[in-house]
A and B are shown apart, each in its own frame.
Chain A
Amino acid sequence: MSKTQTQAQSRLRKAAGAPEGFLTVRDLRVHFPTDDGLVKSVDGLNFTLEKGKTLGIVGESGSGKSVTSLSIMGLHRTGTKRGAPQISGEVWLDGEELIGADPDRVRQLRGQKMAMIFQDPLTAMHPYYTVGAQIVEGYRAHHPGASKKEARRRAVEMLDRVGIPQPDKRVDAYPHEFSGGMRQRAMIAMALVNDPSLLIADEPTTALDVTVQAQILDLIRDLQQEFGSAVIIITHDLGVVAELADDILVMYGGKCIERGPADTLFESPEHPYTWGLLGSMPRLDRELQERLVPVKGTPPSLINVPSGCAFHPRCPYAGLTGGRSTTEVPSLAEAAPGHHAACHIPAAERHRIFTDEIAPRL
């Protein structure tokens, strides 16, 4: 597709009316052609996120969480190159559609309007440049008029803001001279240097030890309240999003299988997979469980996605659907206001199972 065509299409979409929400993802599909077949990493994802709110995207490895975030950021290699994914659907950020937009426009937005924090802060920072230089670079990429001195002052200010002691000295340190937690703070400083209105944190605490995890999560929350940005937290750990997220979206096999306000979702989860996730999570506020219960089986193949409900081979209650779970893909249905789940088990039956069998074990 030529550049002008893309722009024309972009304008057309705009004329068709941008959605109300700050960030709206509509029917996002990311498919990777491989020698073994088409990998459907994300297959029809929808969600909306308002400014000042936090969305937690939860799921196990290969459920499509990270692929989603990279698509929003436009970080997938595109075009006709081998290995480049086919991306379709719409991502609207503040009235602007990104999937069909000119790549250079998306590059301008990247780091400025939307920023990202990655999982492993050691490998995510360039080992040969100082922390300060890397923050300065991010600032000057979007403030071409800023002098080096000005950008450096900004870098020191950001390092101070994320709680790095002696920021005026540490600004000249290399990433390997920082501890894991400090590196992640520096990553956050780098991401926030241009006051982005959307911050995506992809497993921001996975590589850190537990005491540091809590500090980093507190920091993200504080900064969000201060800047009023929209935050997406991607994690496989429900504990991480439990305190931080306003809304939670559970992904399985590239699709959203349940989403709703965090408190409702924790209080009365609808989907058997979510039950499984909750059952496999250690809790401090309950009495000591005998064992953590894992979700049986392995994540589904994204090339040959199980027919019907992708979760049915692992679902202990698949028999209750009258055979529909193997033939029909369940669609998201509203279970409570704002709370949606994609499950064939009749709602009444589901509630009974949860109250009788699941809740007592949690």
Chain B
Amino acid sequence: MLVYLIRRLVNVVAMLLVVSAVTFGIFFMVPKITGSDPALLYVGKIADKAAIEGIRHKMGLDKSIIEQYLLFLKGIFAGRDYSTGVDVTHCSAPCLGYSFKTERAVWPVLLDRLGVTTSLAFGAAVLWLVFGTATGVVSALRRRTLLDRFTMTTALAGVSLPIYFTGMLASAIFVYQLGWFPHDYVAFTDDPVAWFQNLLLPWITLAFLYAATYARLTRATLLDVLGEDYIRTARAKGLGERTVIGKHAMRSTLTPILTVFGMDLGGLIGGAVLTETTFNFRGLGYEAVAAISASDLPVIMGVTLFAGFFIILANLLVDLLYAVVDPRVRLT
């Protein structure tokens, strides 16, 4: 178990290295292909040659790609110094460089954005997990009834409608027409009540999308499980229907849902791009979109690493949890 854990953690680091190397490669290659100059992006359009050279030297852009990558890694683990020869800017670890646009250090900005994204993701996750699975269970147990058909049609709509449609619609009605919800993000630490109120609509919108998937998955899995021999055995033992379904069937149904849930949550923390853009929440996804449209390469790099980290971490957690839930899974 411990050996497995160590091996997996080493794996996480290796994966992140690969992700960073690939992203860095793209980061390095793109200016070459498009003919733009990162140093030029940084100083702005009107600058003299000397200033550009100075920046190029300061940002280490005159070094080879390998050196630049190693400097980048060093920045993450030990921090790095940007020196023009005259003045030295120290960027303490973990250093992801400076935004071309705002000249702010990337790491603190992303940390700040992470609060928005996690608030959004966790709140929505609770909603969709509870309502999605509950709807799926009810639907499976009332199979082929009117209720089942209604919920499954709604779920189909939930899966099919893109978030920028449902999100816009919800905003138009509940925020702008009815004025029920304010729509600016307020940090939890500033005002928990406002935090909750302002996030409620995005939570519901995002949860609707995921709950639909979970309802369908739960329904299908539970129906499968109810056909299993061990369910018949449980009934043959004389157990009540409540125990048969609530204990025996649900235990098997929730296992695959756990896997999907871990992945979804990990992916969402990496950036709920569309939701954040739709509701104008400045989270990681929003930051990514802004960085891409501005060719703000250090920020793109940082967001990618963040997203990669959370997805890989979620995978690891799901694998570990699986071993707890399913006794047949051995971690070796």
Contact B251 A138 (CB under 8 A): no
Shortest C-beta distance, B101 to chain A (Å), equals 52
- For window 91-141 of A, CB contacts with B under 8 Å fall at 107-112, 115-116, 118, 120, 123-130, 137-138, 141
Contact A126 B248 (CB under 8 A): yes
B174 lies within 8 A of chain A by Cβ: no
Tell me the residues in window 242-259 of chain B with beta carbons closer than 8 Å to chain A beta carbons: 243, 248, 251-252, 255
A123 CA / B239 CA spacing, docked (Å): 18
Q: A111-B237, A141-B237, A142-B238 are in contact. Are A128 and B251 (CB under 8 A)?
A: yes
Interface hub of B230, B238, B243, B255 (most chain A Cβ within 10 A): B238
* Chain B positions near chain A (C-beta within 8 angstroms): 144, 228-230, 232-240, 243, 248, 251-252, 255, 325-328
Q: Which of A75, A137, A174 contacts B235 (CB 8 A)?
A: A75
The reply to whether the CB of A277 lies closer than 8 angstroms to some CB of chain B is no
Contact indicator A110/B229 (Cβ below 8 Å): no
- Judge whether A190 is part of the interface by a CB distance below 8 angstroms: yes
21 A-B pairs, CB-CB below 8 angstroms? A75-B232, A107-B238, A110-B238, A111-B238, A118-B232, A124-B229, A126-B233, A126-B248, A126-B252, A127-B328, A128-B252, A129-B251, A137-B239, A138-B237, A138-B238, A138-B239, A141-B237, A141-B238, A176-B327, A176-B328, A190-B237
The answer to whether B236 and A127 touch across the interface, beta carbons within 8 angstroms, is: no
Which A residues touch B255, using CB under 8 A? 128
> What residues of B have a CB within 8 angstroms of the CB of A158 in the complex?
none
Q: A82 in the interface, Cβ–Cβ < 8 Å? A: yes
User: Is the beta-carbon distance between B238 and A109 smaller than 8 angstroms?
Assistant: yes
Q: Which residues of A contact B248 (CB under 8 A)?
A: 126
Other-chain residue from A118, A174, A190 in contact with B229 (beta carbon distance below 8 A): A118
Contact A73 B229 (CB under 8 A): no
A124 near B237: Cβ-Cβ < 8 Å: no
**Whole-angstrom distance between the alpha carbons of A306 and B148 in the complex?**
39
Residues of A within 8 A of B (CB-CB), count? 30
A322-348 residues with Cβ-Cβ distance < 8 A to B are none
| Residues B237 and A120 in contact, CB atoms below 8 Å apart | no
Supposing A126-B248, A127-B327, A128-B252 touch, asked if A82 and B238 sit within 8 A by C-beta, the answer is no
Q: Are B230 and A137 in contact (CB under 8 A)?
A: no
Closest to A110 in B: B238
Contacts of A107 in B (CB 8 A): 235, 238, 240
- Chain A nearest CB, measured from B316 CB (Å): 22
Complex alpha-carbon distance, A176 and B330, angstroms: 12
Residue of B nearest to A104 (CB): B240
Among the interface residues B144, B232, B236, B243, which one has the most CB atoms of the partner chain A within 10 A?
A: B236
Contact B238 A127 (CB under 8 A): no
Report yes or no: A118 in contact with B327, Cβ–Cβ below 8 A.
Answer: no
Closest chain-B Cβ to A3's Cβ sits at a distance in Å of 16
Q: Is the CB of A124 within 8 A of B327?
A: no
Min C-beta distance of A276 to chain B, whole Å: 30
Q: Are A108 and B232 in contact (CB under 8 A)?
A: no
Having A75-B236, A174-B327, A176-B328, one finds 4 other A-B pairs with CB under 8 Å, namely A115-B237, A128-B326, A142-B238, A187-B233
Asked if residues A123 and B229 are in contact (CB atoms below 8 Å), the reply is yes
Q: Which of A120, A126, A191 has the most CB of B within 10 A?
A: A126
**CA gap between A185 and B113 in the complex, in Å:** 59
A187–B234 Cα gap in the complex (Å)? Answer: 12
Contacts of A138 in B (CB 8 A): 237-239
6 nearest A-B pairs in the assembled complex, by CB-CB distance: A111-B238, A110-B238, A123-B229, A138-B237, A111-B237, A126-B230
Closest to A190 in B: B237
Shortest Cβ gap from B284 to chain A (Å)? 36
Distance, CA A176 to CA B325, complexed state (A): 15
Point out the residue from B144, B234, B240 that lies within 8 Å of A82, measured CB to CB. B144
A195 vs B228: C-alpha distance in the bound complex, in angstroms? 26
Contact among B233, B239, B325, B328 with A125 in the assembled complex (CB-CB below 8 Å): B233
Cα A107 to Cα B232 in complex, Å, equals 12
Given contacts A110-B235, A110-B238, A176-B328, contact A120 B230 (CB under 8 A): no
Separation in Å of the B255 CB from the closest CB of chain A?
Answer: 8
CB distance from B163 to the nearest CB of A (A): 35
